[in-house]
Amino acid sequence: MEITAVNALLCPHCGQGFHAPEQGGSSMTCLAGHSFDIARQGYLNLLTGSGTKFVPDSSEMVAARDSFLDAGHYQRLADALAEKVTAHLRRGSEDATLIVDAGTGTGWYLQEVLAATAKAGQSPAAVGMDISKFALRRAARRNPDAVNIVWDLWRELPLGAKLADVVLVIFAPRNASEFARILKPGGTLLIVTPLPQHLGEIAADAGLLGIQDDKEAALVQSLAEDFELVDSTELLLPLELSPTDVAHVAFMGPAGHHAKAEDLAQRLTHLPQKTPATAAFRISAFSPRRSS
Ligand SMILES: C[S@@+](CC[C@H](N)C(=O)[O-])C[C@H]1O[C@@H](n2cnc3c(N)ncnc32)[C@H](O)[C@@H]1O
Ligand SMILES: [Zn+2]
């Protein structure tokens, strides 16, 4: 866990900062003495007390997502994001920079982005947040220098104001007012959403929930109070997916909450060795409207 990212954290109970954790310590304490567990795997659980009503992704769903991402199918999306992040950090003049990955999942994209920033000679601190402990176990392994926190993105974020250079939101919930609060005035919010035709070729087989229409107008509208759209990039990735790949896609999405892995595999036995499919994404870059 990197100290500079720890400096961005605020205690959810009292809003004060934290003492630097001891090397290999099992808890972190705020300046007022509130203590939070650091899991053996290295992530920090700030979500104590009443918890949340949200049903987090299961261990199996997270494993499917990780296997699919590790196979490299979405590498070009990670590269495009990394390119945008490094370009943004290059434009800034500050030494201490911070990337927040909201809904970091298994941390795969953040790992790719951090590798690119390191290559560019940049050394941003990073915070990954997710509500799934199963996801964070993996994220903490992938990004040991980042601060990985169990948190509900719909709550006030446990981070100080105007500290983040970049907030990444890759298929995850968008808490516009909180993202605006934690971003520096010149900061950027990068949101990845699927386009309507995303994986259309396998949507029925994989039981993917339909992505009905292009949601960009709705996205811009939903963020309008806090952000303005500065850039929008579409990315189409032609893929060749094995039956295992299709099973992973099926299981890592919302359908994974309802289906059993064996049932899904059974449904996919008719698939050929390679099924062509097109992943279709939009990366939207927003800047905060106000610096207040
Ligand atoms: C579709 S996954 C994307 C994960 C990661 N960004 C990626 O692309 O690999 C959505 C993620 O958002 C997380 N998530 C959903 N609702 C959340 C909430 N209210 N607070 C924090 N994380 C949440 C899920 O646990 C999951 O890891
Ligand atoms: Zn406290």
Mean pLDDT in residue range 14-38: 93
Pick from 126-135, 139-148, 184-193, 213-222: least confident: 213-222
Q: At 290, give phi and psi (nearest 5°).
A: -115, 155
Name the closest ligand to CA 175. 1
Contact 84, 110 (CB under 8 A): no
Distance CA 239, CA 183 (A): 35
Looking at ligand 1, which residue's alpha carbon is closest to its atom 4? 105
Of residues 24 and 255, more confidently modeled: 24
Judge whether 11 is annotated as a binding position: no
Judge whether 188 is annotated as a binding position: no
Helices (H), 29-74: 59-70
* Distance from the alpha carbon of residue 35 to the mean position of ligand 2, in angstroms: 8
Judge whether 244 is annotated as a binding position: no
Distance CA 169, CA 224 (A): 16
Mean pLDDT in residue range 253-271: 76
Question: What are the extents of the domains in the chain?
Answer: 53-147+155-288
Mean pLDDT in residue range 82-93: 93
Tokens of 280: 């279709």
Query: Given the structure tokens 């007022």, which residue do they identify?
Result: 32
In eight-state DSSP terms, residue 253 is: S
Confidence of residue 213 (pLDDT cuts 50, 70, 90): low
Distance CA 224, CA 213 (A): 20
The strand pairing partners of 170, in sequence order, are 192
Helices 59-70 & 243-252 angle (0-180, nearest 10):
130
Which value, in Å, is the radius of gyration of the alpha carbons in the chain? 19
Query: Given the structure tokens 């259309």, which residue do they identify?
Result: 200
Of residues 114 and 254, more confidently modeled: 114
Q: Which protein residues touch ligand 1 with a CB less than 6 Å away? A: 54, 56-57, 65, 103-106, 108-109, 129-132, 135, 152-154, 170-173
pLDDT at 52 over 70: no
Q: What is the pLDDT of residue 94?
A: 74
Torsion of CA 51, 56, 58, 63, to 10 degrees: -120
Distance CA 94, CA 251 (A): 42
Q: What is the pLDDT of residue 269?
A: 80
Determine the CATH number of domain 53-147+155-288. Answer: 3.40.50.150
pLDDT at 164 over 70: yes
Q: What burial class does residue 141 get, using C-beta atoms within 10 Å of its C-beta: 0-12 exposed, 13-18 middle, 19+ buried?
A: middle
* Mean pLDDT of all residues belonging to the chain: 90
